[in-house]
Amino acid sequence: MAEQFSLGMAIIFVSGALNGSFALPMKYARRWNWENTWLVFALVALVLIPWLLAVGFVPNLGTVYRQVSSRQLASPAVFGFLWGIAQCTFGLGIETVGMALAFSVVAGLACLSGSLVPLLVIDPSELIRPRGILLLISIPILLAALVFFGKAGRRREREQGAEPSAPSRVSYSFRAGLAICVFTGLVGSAWNVGFAFSGPILRSGAAAGAGSLASPYAVWAVILSAGFVPNLIYCAYLLSRNKTWPRFREGALRETMLGVAMGFLWLSGIVGYGIGATFAGRYGTSIGFTLFIAAQILASNTLGMLTGEWKGTSARTRQILTTAVAVTLVSVIVLNLGGLF
C-alpha cells in the first residue's frame, strides 16, 4: 500500500510539472489573438483528446454511463462547467500578470479548496487526525505565500512599467489581474472536486473492464467536455466583439500547432494526475492534489523566469518572489507529511 501511495505521488508530481508548463507555447503566438489560441487549446484539451482516450480505453463506454444514475453523471458535469468558467479567467490571468505569478496565486488558492473540500465530504473526521491537522496547518502558510506573491507582483509592475505582453492581448492593471487570479483560484479546483465525487463512474468503468488506470478517462470526458462550454461561449464572444475570426487564416499552421501543444501539455498533466490519484488511494484527491499544485508552481515559476517575465526587476523583487515560492513549498511539504500517517 505504501509503495502504491509513493508511486502515485511521484506520478502526480511529474503531471503537475507538465500542467504547469502548458501556457509556455502561448508566449510564442504572433499572429493570433488570445481568443484564437485559447479556443484551439480548449477544443483539443477539453473535447478531442479526452473523448479519444475514453472511447479508445474504456470498453463499452455508453454502457458505463448508463449504469450510473443521472444525478451521479450530472455531478461531475456541473463541477466541470464551474471549472470551465475559471479556466477562461485563468487564461486572462496568465496574460495579465504572467505565467509565473498567475500559476502561483491560482494554484495556491485552488490548493486550499481542492484539498479541503474532498476531505470534508469524504470523511470530515479526518480533520482531527494527523492528515487533517497538517492540512489545516498548511492553510495559513499558503495564505502568507500569497501575500509575498502579491508584493512581488506589485513591485514588478512598477519596475517594468505597464507593457502589454503581446499585441492583441488583454490589458488589465495588476490589481485587476490579481483579482482575476483570486477568483480563478477559488473556483478552479472544481474539476478536482468533480473527480473526487466520480466514484460511481470509476467503479462502472472498472466493472466494464477498463481497469483502475483507464477508468478515469470516462470521468475526464464528462468533466472536461462540460468545462469546454464556457470556454467556447467566451471565446466566440471575443472573436465576434474583436472581429478576430479572420485571424484563424493568418499563420494557421504555426499558430494552430501552438494551441495543440498547449492542449497536449495540459491534458497530459490532468490525465497523469488522475492516474496518480488512483494509485495514491483515498487521499489522492486531497494530499495528492496539493503535491500537484506544488509541481505546477515550481514549473511555472522556473519557466517564467527563463522566458523573461521578471526581466528588468530588482534583486529585491526577485528575492520576494523566491520567498513566496519557498513558503508555498513549505506548506506543501507540511501537508504531504500526512502520507506518513
Q: Which residues are CB-contacts of 323 (< 8 A; sequence separation ≥ 6)?
A: 148
How much is the average pLDDT of 53-74?
93
pLDDT tens sequence across 214-255: 888 999 999 999 999 999 999 999 999 999 999 999 999 999
How far apart, in whole angstroms, are the C-alpha atoms of residue 273 and residue 286?
12
The pLDDT of residue 3: 63
Q: Are 109 and 186 in contact (CB under 8 A)?
A: yes
Mean pLDDT calculated for residue range 6-27: 90
Rounded to an integer, what distance in angstroms lies between the CA atom of residue 181 and that of residue 189? 13
Lowest mean pLDDT among 96-110, 112-126, 263-277, 283-297: 112-126
Residue 108 in this model has a pLDDT that exceeds 80 = no
- What is the DSSP annotation of 269-323? HHHHHHHHHHHHGGGTTTHHHHHHHHHHHHHHHHHHHHTTTTTT--HHHHHHHHH
In 98-202, beta strands by DSSP E: none
What is the spatial distance between Cα 151 and Cα 172, in angstroms, rounded to a whole number?
Answer: 17
Among candidates 188, 146, 177, which has minimal Cα distance to 309? Answer: 177
Give 243: exposed, middle or buried? Use CB within 10 Å, 0-12, 13-18, 19+: exposed
Residue 98, helix vs strand vs coil: coil
Task: Name the pTM for this structure.
Answer: 0.78
Mean per-residue pLDDT, 148-163 = 77
Picking from 23, 93, 100, the residue whose alpha carbon sits closest to that of residue 325 is 100
What is the distance between the alpha carbons of residues 153 and 102, in angstroms, rounded to a whole number?
10
Q: pLDDT tens across 260-305, in order?
A: 999 999 989 988 988 888 888 776 766 777 788 778 888 888 888 8
CA atoms within 13 A on the CB side of 260: 7
Q: What are phi and psi of 311, to 5 degrees?
A: -65, 135
More reliable by pLDDT, 61 or 331: 61
Q: What angle do CA 297, 229, 242 make, to 5 degrees?
A: 85
Rounded CA-CA distance 277/292 in Å is: 10
Residue 246 burial (C-beta neighbours within 10 Å; 0-12, 13-18, 19+):
exposed
Q: How confident is the model at residue 145 (pLDDT cuts 50, 70, 90)?
A: confident
**What's the rounded Cα separation, in Å, for the pair 243 and 106?**
30
CA distances from 308 to 21, 27, 263, 302 (A): 15, 11, 23, 10
Q: Tell me, what's the pLDDT at 339?
A: 56
